[in-house]
Amino acid sequence: MSVLVGWGRGQGWCPCSALSLLTVPKECGPAEFSCRSGQCVALALRCDGDHDCRDGSDEEGCTVPRPLLCRTGEVACPHSKECVPEAWRCDGTADCGDGTDEQGCPWEEEPCGDQQWGCSHGRGCIPDVWRCDGERDCTDGSDEAGCQPAPCQSHEYPCGLGACLNASLVCDRRQDCVDGSDEGGNCSVPCQRSCAHLCYPSPQGPRCWCDPGYRLAEDGLSCVDIDECVERGDGACSQTCLNAPGSYSCACLPGYLLEPDGRVCKLTGPEPMLLVAVQSELFSYGLRSGHWEILLATDKDRVVFSLDYDLVERKVFWMDLATESIRWQGLDLGKKGTVVKGVRSDCIAVDWLGRNLYWTDGAAGQVLATHLGAAWRGIPEYTVVMDGDLDQPHSLVLQPLAGLLYWSEVGSHPRLMKASMDGSQRHVLLAQGLGWPTALALDLPTWRIFWLDEKLGGVGSAHLDGTSVKVLHLSWVRSPFAAVVCEEQLYWSERKAWSVQHVDKASGKNRTVLLKRHGQPHGLQVMHPALRPVVPNPCAARGCSHLCLLSAGRAGQCRCPTGLTLATNETTCLPLHDSAFALLVSPAAVTQVYLKDLPMTAGSQGLPPHQALPLAKVGRLSAIDYSVKDKSLYFAEVGGDSIGLLRLKDWGRLSWKVAVAVEGTVTSLALDWLSGNLYWIGGQPPSIHVAAPGGRWALELLSKGLQGAAWLALSPRASSMCFVTAAGSRRPGAAVECAAMDGTNRRAVWRKAWAPTSLAFGGVGTRLYWADCERGTISSVELNGSHYRVVREGLHGLSLFAIGEGFLLWSTTSNNGSSKIWHSRLERAESWWFPMEQELVAMRIYSQFSQEGTNGCAKNNGGCAQLCLPNPTGRLCRCSPGYHLVRGVACTLALPCRAPLQACPDLQGCISREQVCDGRPDCLDGSDEADCPSTEMGTQVPVVAPSGMSHVEEQKPALPTAAPKPRQPAPSLPTASGPWEYGKPFLEPPSTEEVLGAMPCSSETCNLRGDCAIEAGRVTCHCALGYRGDYCEEAEVQPVAGPIALGVAVLLLLTAAAVGALAYMRRRDRRRRTSSTASTRVLTLYHRESDPEEEDEEEELPPKSDTFVNEAYDGKEVSSIWWRPW
């Protein structure tokens, strides 16, 4: 054992140096003191009571002599008249000049422990592996006494007394063995054996022998190469060993140079610097020159605990226990800063590749991390890397090149652990033979991890995979705090001995005390570029919004600070309330559970952290859906007459309102979160309905073939919807059907289901998932019916299912009625569960990113006046009952026909039942003659007006021939005075002003022949000269000109008749405004009861009517067909 004088007492050398420390004196700076030994130490260390120069010259000639009365915590050296710290007594190093601090020590009488061997006469204990290793380790050499000689190699001859002799010296007629056993016997027998290498004579007869580097095979003739890299292990080379036939060679990693001995690799480039934290100061020590200086001096009441450095930004980081913060200081300009506050850590570690800072929290049982460039702004910006099942984590080391993290736990079950640097793939590295492994160090060139054990007093090492474990019990290892490996040396800080020491990392020998000062040393690091090679950072291209942690396999994983959670895009961090969550729906409540809070254990007690959504005055729930953007919950009740809407933006004032009125129980509902449309299944027999945002417009979308329809699911991005229908009487089971969200392209995508439930879309919305309760499976299929697969099977008691954000969620019910909620990652096989006491009717998963995308109705309602229904190719505009579509986008009020008349399929005219399929097109589009029995168009069918229908004209005006069209099922229409025939109305009929507001009044309304105005809520046309009619559709009668003389006479004769005729015609027009089926300008008629007085006076007249505008009218076309000048 040796001691470096510059840090303690005595003389010694630095084993991590290729140069002698006895360097030629050099010039020191103005702030340095020049030692006689050639060192330069900080001027502040002059006369501070510690020998900082190797020769102690910094403490000579001090103006204030050291006190003879020792201070508290010191012991006096009686002969050398000096004081040394009490912690230095009996530490194995003589610190007093007279050596009295190492006399009468209790350890001299202590028995040796396990795996130790006691030197004779009680002069210490050594590791038992040092016994008979060829080196004298006991002061009296007793460890090498009585040892068996090492076996001779294949090119050597064993002498009788155990010595080994080169085979070439045997039978050479000269006695080389002490006992003469190498001569005589059968030496004269010539070599006639077929030896692979050489044959030599021996007293036992001819023998084969092999060249150095080979071993004689069992046949006694052949030679086998010796793999020195395997047999010698770590002792062959300090870094890389390369075997060759008959020999081997050593190689070094970049940044190292092979020494002349051909075995040891030394660092090249700048001098390696040892960083040491002692009490409130931070020192740097040159391992080549012995030069050291103070990098940092804090207040005396502070403790610089753990430390680490970053050469990229030239910073040193340390844990400040007094302020419970991690701080940093620049190595060049002395800038300072704070990374994080409110933490207490035993160990910090810098990830120089991924640019993060890690630390342990032993009390909380956590490993945490933050960005290396983080600056404290009052809000924590760190993430919890690992939490739970950590038993007092203490020391921590990183291997960024492989994305691995190693740490020690010193709790009730001490162990060494290993994990990916993102906290995943955690497992035990070593759990046997440990006491308190308080100091860890990685030696990347040899791929080994070292630890020092405070309880057992020893040094251990193992490969990074936990194999090749070696343990040395050393009596001088008492209270290690931190450790680091440099070249061939293992350095560590001893808190009780107030020193920094090092030994040969392979053998544990050649112990040297490098530093002794008044104060406890803590953090320790060696700073050199080759120890932290720079390679491409896997996190550079990851695009994480906050933190990126390295993971095994040279990858990067995005992580979020506390209070935020990772979105499903795996790059963006969101507030917790915006993160993915599940809604568990029971008949009486809706419970919200965030996916990040789902327990990763089976059988957790009770629900995980959750929140119950308030639903006051709500009956038994049957279905729900949720809008993440609006934070709105849509729900339906069993036996209810509406779908409710609960907005959750303001928790302080929650009340729900009716979103849309319905008829019958809603069994399933789904929200198109892109357009805002609401779809649902309801009624008996069941049908699929859709309502526009706000519930103002609604219609029945599908009604045929929906026996047993249930579990409606939407994929707004794919503009598709899917649902379950009963298979029918011919076979059992059910079918999974899909269609466009406008009701078109309906088809079955899977017909082999038994009891499908909980349909849901996953991923980008092109794959459909469902649970089959009878089969106990969760299955999926593409929207086109291809690539069917079973995702999970063997799920006994399966009842409900949900998918989203890469999670699967399902519920099972046992025979005793108890329920479990299971959850699992989609790509993983393991699953966990927690109990659920309440019965569930639905479960859904939502997130902000799950409701993104676009479809044909996502913007401005697709340009539709009422309902915009998306489909894979775009969108389809539809109108609710009582309206008809105009120009593909607009909706106008349909004609309310008075019984017994019925509306045309195009809702633009009224006809009697006898006019349907009578051979004449009575509707404008001729649809009353479509799909009729074979009757040629134009055949006259007598029409008999029923009683009470005298206002129906017997002779219909000629109509333009319209091509027959397939009859479309027309929605039921409201009668003029009766209730809606389509069940209960979804809303009150819109006012005239609302309709007119949707259909502007313009000159086009008046066929460009007058000015349009709204008077008393009605459209009125003020016709230009020469035109007349409600819409200026009639030209004034023009007389035929004749000879002037005759014309004057005729004019005088006709004047009187014209006046009378005109008066009669105007009176007739005022009393009878009838809707001609030849006019395409009529929008609708609002019938009203006739005034009794008018009925008495003119019973033969039909009821009065009000005429409204129809934008579908083309004035020029109608004029050219119907109206001719007289």
pTM passes above 0.75 = no
SS3 600: coil
- pLDDT category at 1086 given cuts 50, 70, 90 is very low
What is the β-pairing status of strands 521-527 and 547-551? unpaired
Residue 909 DSSP code: -
Give the span between the Cα atoms of 316 and 283, in whole angstroms: 11
* pLDDT tens column, 1019-1028: 577 888 777 7
The verdict on residue 209 lying in a domain is: no
With 0-12 CB in 10 A as exposed, 13-18 as middle and 19+ as buried, what is 578? middle
- Give one DSSP letter per residue of 113-139, joined into a string: -TTEEEPGGG--EEEGGGTTSSS--ST
Residues comprising the chain, all counted: 1126
Q: Which amino acid is at 822?
A: W
* pLDDT tens column, 575-608: 877 788 999 999 888 999 988 888 877 777 778 8
Evaluate whether 430 touches 474 at the Cβ level (below 8 Å): no
Tokens 């035993």 sit on residue:
346
Last residue within a domain, chosen from 794, 828, 843: 794
The verdict on residue 28 lying in a domain is: no
For residue 747, CA distances in Å to 720, 723, 785 come to: 11, 11, 9
The verdict on residue 802 lying in a domain is: no
For residue 475, CA distances in Å to 13, 424, 510, 524 come to: 22, 38, 14, 21
Q: What is the mean pLDDT of residues 811-825?
A: 86
What residues does 1019 pair with on adjacent strands? 1014
| Per-residue model confidence (pLDDT) at position 19 | 35
Other Cβ atoms within 10 Å of 181 Cβ, number: 21
* pLDDT tens column, 309-361: 999 999 999 999 889 999 999 998 778 999 999 998 999 999 999 999 999 99
Give the span between the Cα atoms of 293 and 41, in whole angstroms: 6
* pLDDT tens column, 6-25: 444 333 334 444 333 333 44
**Total domains present in the chain:** 3
| Per-residue model confidence (pLDDT) at position 1074 | 38
Nearest alpha carbon to residue 1124 among 1035, 1023, 1062, 1039? 1035
The verdict on residue 313 lying in a domain is: yes
Q: Which two tokens stand for residue 1028?
A: 């007349």
Q: Where are the beta strands (DSSP E) in 331-426?
A: 336-341, 348-351, 356-361, 366-371, 382-387, 393-399, 404-409, 415-420
The verdict on residue 770 lying in a domain is: yes
Q: Where are the beta strands (DSSP E) in 754-861?
A: 756-762, 767-772, 777-782, 789-792, 798-804, 807-813, 819-825, 832-836, 842-846
With 0-12 CB in 10 A as exposed, 13-18 as middle and 19+ as buried, what is 271? middle
The contacts of residue 436 (CB under 8 Å, 6+ apart) are 410, 414, 453, 454, 455, 456
* pLDDT tens column, 38-88: 888 888 778 876 777 877 788 787 765 555 577 777 888 877 777 888 878
Evaluate whether 339 touches 375 at the Cβ level (below 8 Å): yes
What residues does 1031 pair with on adjacent strands? none
| Per-residue model confidence (pLDDT) at position 1068 | 53
- Residue numbers of the domain that contains 452: 284-531
- pLDDT category at 278 given cuts 50, 70, 90 is very high
Give the span between the Cα atoms of 1085 and 1100, in whole angstroms: 19
The verdict on residue 1065 lying in a domain is: yes
Last residue within a domain, chosen from 757, 779, 794: 794
The verdict on residue 715 lying in a domain is: yes
The verdict on residue 50 lying in a domain is: no
Dihedral of alpha carbons 410, 414, 415, 421, sign:
negative
- Give one DSSP letter per residue of 725-758, joined into a string: EE--SSSSSEEEEEEETTS-S-EEEEEEESSEEE
- Give one DSSP letter per residue of 446-509, joined into a string: TTEEEEEETTTTEEEEEETTS-S-EEEE-TT-SSEEEEEEETTEEEEEETTTTEEEEEETTT--
CATH of residue 740: 2.40.10
Last residue within a domain, chosen from 794, 815, 843: 794
Nearest alpha carbon to residue 943 among 965, 975, 911? 911
Other Cβ atoms within 10 Å of 1015 Cβ, number: 8
- What is the H or E stretch that residue 826 is in? none
Residue 239 exposure: Cα atoms within 13 Å on the Cβ side? 20
Residue 272 DSSP code: P
- What is the H or E stretch that residue 831 is in? none
With 0-12 CB in 10 A as exposed, 13-18 as middle and 19+ as buried, what is 535? exposed
